[in-house]
Amino acid sequence: MKNQQKIFQHSFQLLALFLMSSLIFTSCSAQTNAQKKENTSSTEQSNEYNELTAEEAHVILDKGTDRAFTGEYTDKFDEGVYQCRQCNAPLYVSDSKFHSNCGWPSFDQEIKGAVTRVKDADGRRTEITCANCKGHLGHVFYGEGLTDKDTRHCVNTTSLLFVPKKVKGTKETAIFAGGCFWGVEYYFQNATGVISTQVGYTGGQTKNPTYQDVLSHKSGHYEAIEITYDASKTDFETLAKLFFEIHDPTQANGQGNDIGQQYKSVVFYNNDEQKNITNRLIQQLKKKGFNVATKLIPATTFWSAEQYHQAYYEKGGGTPYCHKRVKRF
């Protein structure tokens, strides 16, 4: 009988130990999962903003720091505006930038309302973040006597995107593909700030392509339009919005009845600014319910099309058969 009691007691103890171990394991697992969720949340990025590289995410989302004296903006003093790399919000004008010899871009004043100040957890320093997207910028320091404002915003180059001042008469280009290039050119020819347009072929591998080369689907090129515009009278964002409103950016296989690779919707970006602006506009359209199929491709050689394709509707009259403007912004 005593042996049976001992066996029972021993079994009960083992069962209790097993149950306690299970509870501890479950609790630890829950904590681990919570920690994982907490740790990964800082690297999650809203799809409303510009896509970040791993290095950019480390600084902007995880509050990392550029190595001193390595950023391209540390000693840059051109006229322009410094924007948030993640959301394009204007943060600083070049007039507020100064030499501090600290190894990072330094500003003594932000654009009003553009920057938020947050005390670090240890209370020793004050972090600065973009007021719009909360992306990490750097830290702010006072009492150093470096400028009359006695303030130094120490900002990571990685957190910034510099946009040079647009001088009157400055020419810039934009390249769009959105179906038959006759119709696309029709809507851009008389747009405010546009200096000239030409239709042509780009994005493929064939040099000096002809219209027949493109029709054969062997050249890899798209029918596109190159727009030269006065950057003091209009900007890329205005032109890109027009592009998204004069064709159907949700059609993946062409445009209207024009089906094929050469008729697909593409923005050929010339720089990061154009790429970021396009990404932001696409996200805005997606939030409105548009399943955007438009591709982003780095701009390469633009080959002018045959003369009879240039200003087609202006010379021959009529209006586009597969393009019309639909308000989307």
The pLDDT value given to residue 9: 52
Q: Higher model confidence: residue 57 or residue 36?
A: 57
Identify whether 87 is a catalytic site residue.
Answer: no
**Cα(64)–Cα(162) distance, integer angstroms:** 20
> pLDDT tens digits, residue range 88-100?
999 999 999 999 9
Identify whether 130 is a catalytic site residue.
Answer: no
In a domain, residue 227? The reply is: yes
Residues 135 and 270 reside in one and the same domain: no
Residues 190 and 141 reside in one and the same domain: no
Which helix (H) or strand (E) segment holds residue 274: the answer is helix 272-287
Give the residue among 194, 107, 211, 86 at the shortest CA–CA distance from 149. 107
Mean pLDDT, residues 280-301 taken together: 95
Confidence of residue 32 (pLDDT cuts 50, 70, 90): very low
Share of the chain above pLDDT 70, in %: 86
**Cα(267)–Cα(244) distance, integer angstroms:** 10
Confidence of residue 50 (pLDDT cuts 50, 70, 90): confident
Residues 192 and 285 reside in one and the same domain: yes
Residues 200 and 299 reside in one and the same domain: yes
What is the CATH number for 268? 3.30.1060.10
DSSP string for residues in 67-85: PTT--TTTT---SEEEEET
Label residue 95 left, alpha or beta by phi (over 0 means left) and psi (-120 to 50 means alpha): alpha
Residues 160 and 180 reside in one and the same domain: no
How much is the mean pLDDT over the chain? 88
Least confident of 133-142, 162-171, 239-248: 162-171
Confidence of residue 122 (pLDDT cuts 50, 70, 90): confident
Count of domains forming the chain? 2
**Cα(229)–Cα(196) distance, integer angstroms:** 7
In a domain, residue 147? The reply is: yes
The model's pTM is 0.65
Label residue 143 left, alpha or beta by phi (over 0 means left) and psi (-120 to 50 means alpha): left
In a domain, residue 62? The reply is: yes
The pLDDT value given to residue 46: 58
Residues 145 and 269 reside in one and the same domain: no
Q: 160: which strand partners?
A: 84
In a domain, residue 18? The reply is: no
The pLDDT value given to residue 51: 84
Confidence of residue 166 (pLDDT cuts 50, 70, 90): confident
In a domain, residue 270? The reply is: yes
Which one of 87, 130, 133, 180 is the catalytic residue?
A: 180
Residues 190 and 153 reside in one and the same domain: no
Residues 80 and 135 reside in one and the same domain: yes
Which one of 84, 87, 154, 322 is the catalytic residue?
A: 154
Residues 177 and 307 reside in one and the same domain: yes
Domain that holds residue 290: 171-316
Residues 201 and 238 reside in one and the same domain: yes
Q: How many CB atoms lie within 10 A of CB 179?
A: 27
